[in-house]
Copies of this chain bind each other. A is one copy, B any other.
Amino acid sequence: MANVYDVAYDLEKALRNSDDFQALKKNYDEVNNSPETKVLFDKFRDIQVALQQKQMAGQEVTQEEVEEAQNLFAEVQQNETISKLMAAEQRMSMIINEINKIITKPLEELYGPMAEENEPQQ
């Protein structure tokens, strides 16, 4: 029987060597090696995080904040280096989600039927 952690390390290696991770790394370095681009990207990330935190805390997001985020998003979309990084990040996020779905399938199969079975009782 293959050891779970051994296979997890194999997966880490496969992910690290994948074209998708290598592209992400390259795009990330490109953004970080261009000071102007990095400032714009950090600003966009910071406002994204700030708005998310406000929403999660149930605080009201002002019209001004929404507009600032929209303006930055428009600016960011016109920057090719950042656009490429964001596309690579989205792709990596999708891959990680797929991997998680695959490896938690045994648990889903175990717990899935119980949840359905219980539905009518509630």
Contact flag A9-B118 (CB < 8 Å), given A18-B1, A18-B4: no
A43-71 contacts to B, CB under 8 A, are: 58
Interface string of A1-29 (1 = CB under 8 A from B): 11111111111111111101100110010
State in angstroms the CA–CA spacing of A18 and B103 once bound together: 13
Determine how many copies of this chain the complex contains: 2
Chain A interface size, as a band, is 35 or more
Q: Does A116 contact B (CB under 8 A)?
A: no
Q: Does A110 contact B (CB under 8 A)?
A: yes
A104-118 contacts to B, CB under 8 A, are: 104-107, 110, 114, 118
**Given the complex, which residues of B lie within 8 Å of A21, measured CB to CB?**
106
